[in-house]
Amino acid sequence: MTRRFEFNINLSADKTHRIYQGQARYILVYTDNGTSLQLPAINFQRYVTEQGIQGRFEVEIDDRNKIIRLAAI
C-alpha cells in the first residue's frame, strides 16, 4: 500500500547551499495534514534554482517508507 502526501517547501538559496556542502542530508517537511516527513535532500536536486527550492510537491511512499515518486505539482 502506498501513501501520498502534499506539502509546500520554501528553502532559501543559503539553506540549499548547505545541502550541497554536505551539512544537511535531509529536508524536514510538514504535509498538508500535519504529518512530518524527513526526506533525503538528494531527491530535491532537480528542483534547485538560484533562489533555492520553492514550490508545491507530492511524494508517494511505499509501505517500507521508501520514496516511490516525488513531483512538483
Q: Which domain holds residue 31?
A: 3-72
Q: In what order do the strands lie in the sheet with 67-72?
A: 3-11, 53-61, 67-72
19-29: pLDDT as tens digits: 778 788 899 99
**What's 62's domain CATH number?**
2.40.50
Predicted local confidence at residue 45, as pLDDT: 87
Distance linking the first and last C-alpha atoms of the chain? 22
Count structural domains, the chain.
Answer: 1
Report percent pLDDT > 90 for the chain: 77
Task: Answer yes or no: pTM beyond 0.85.
Answer: yes
